[in-house]
Structure 1
Amino acid sequence: MTISAIAAMRYLKLFAAQREDKVLFGYVWKIIPFLWVYSFIIAILPILGISSYTTEPYNISCTINWTGSSLEDKMYVILSVVFGFGIPLLICITCYVLIFKQLTCRNNAIRAPRHMESRLVKTAFAVMLCFMLAWTPIA
């Protein structure tokens, strides 16, 4: 979720020109507690009886029960994938597509050099690729 919050804040910062930094700073103080609560809810569900935590094969760390056969285990795995991977990925893609479209429109309107646009596209692509490479094997 943090990466999607960064994408959303990047969009707001770039295209909310009428907003002051003070207002955007206020958004940050709303987003941070939301991220903590969102993550806490997903993490606490196994402790409350929906699915369970189990040890990794070498007993090094614990993880959610990915291979559980109960309905709760399967539902929690689906919930984790959707809310921990799918929604953040969708938010990131949406924000970066909107940023790219806005930059393309601005650059076409003012005939500005495309250096900033290409740098942003490369950065966004690298961030999204790293996120997908890191989380797709788990999801």
Structure 2
Amino acid sequence: FAVVGKPFSIISFFSHRWMFGWIGCRWYGWAGFFFGCGSLITMTAVSLDRYLKICHLSYGTWLKRHHAFICLAIIWAYATFWATVPFAGVGSYAPEPFGTSCTLDWWLAQASVAGQAFVLSILFFCLLFPTAVIVFSYVKIILKVKSSTKEVAHYDTRIQNSHILEMKLTKVGRNIYFSLLCWV
């Protein structure tokens, strides 16, 4: 989105108003929602994959490259669905209060029961549920690493190297968690 969308908001920022008309606003809002939702769901899938590979070792033996591609296709279809729903009349995209970029029209969404249901749906399916899965995954990974620390001390260095890898994954999980916390 940074390459495709940010130039629009930068130009509008320096002009102190949205410069690209109604269609440009709808496209920009759609792209922002699409890439934002898709990115968060991708992070969710990565955290779930790591959880399954670390906490349920048999999972890692059957996952192949084509499974990852299928998962990515489903993720971006999911993001496309949620970003496109406002075009079906449930909501819309409109300029934000400062008028230099566009997003979901939150005021219009509150005007009807369908709009309110849409807002609650995206809140749950595009933010709360993915965040809960990420938090669950990394908490379970951290607990698994902590519980295996004592066991690893009794094995040879090869297994200790595996433990070091798990610790690195835990640190990555913490980084993702805190970046998600800042993002929200």
The normalised TM-score by structure 1 is 0.79
1:7 Cα deviation (Å)? Answer: 0.7
1:3 Cα deviation (Å)? Answer: 0.8
Q: Assess if the C-alpha contact under 8 Å between 1:56 and 1:62 holds in 2.
A: yes
1:45 matches 2:85: yes
User: What amino acid is aligned across from residue 32 of structure 1 in structure 2?
Assistant: L
Question: SS where residue 54 of structure 1 aligns?
Answer: strand
1:107 alignment partner, one of 146, 149, 171: 149
> Within 1, Cα distance between the matches of 2:150 and 2:123?
39
In structure 2, what is the equivalent of residue 125 of structure 1? 174
Unmatched runs of 5 consecutive residues or more in structure 1 = none
CA distances 1:103-128 after superposition (whole Å, capped 9, x unpaired): 22322222259755554443322211
User: What amino acid is aligned across from residue 94 of structure 1 in structure 2?
Assistant: F
Unmatched runs of 5 consecutive residues or more in structure 2 = 1-40, 154-159
1:37 Cα deviation (Å)? Answer: 1.3
Which of these two proteins has the greater Rg computed from alpha carbons?
2
CA distances 1:83-117 after superposition (whole Å, capped 9, x unpaired): 11111111111111221222223222222597555
In structure 2, what is the equivalent of residue 32 of structure 1? 72
Instruction: Report how many aligned residue pairs link the two structures.
Output: 134
Q: Matches of residues 49-128 of structure 1 in structure 2 within 5 Å?
A: 49-68=89-108, 69-70=110-111, 71-111=113-153, 112=160, 119-128=168-177
The normalised TM-score by structure 2 is 0.62
Taking a change above 3 Å as real, the CA distance of residues 12 and 79 of structure 1, as seen in their structure-2 partners, is same
Question: SS where residue 47 of structure 1 aligns?
Answer: helix
| Stretch of structure 1 that moved more, 40-49 or 124-133 | 124-133
Aligned-pair identity in percent equals: 21
CA distances 1:28-60 after superposition (whole Å, capped 9, x unpaired): 122101101111111111001112211223433
Higher helix residue share: 2
Question: SS where residue 2 of structure 1 aligns?
Answer: helix
> Within 2, Cα distance between the matches of 1:25 and 1:13?
14
| Stretch of structure 1 that moved more, 53-62 or 77-86 | 53-62
User: What amino acid is aligned across from residue 99 of structure 1 in structure 2?
Assistant: I
| Stretch of structure 1 that moved more, 65-74 or 88-97 | 65-74
CA RMSD of aligned residues (A): 2.5
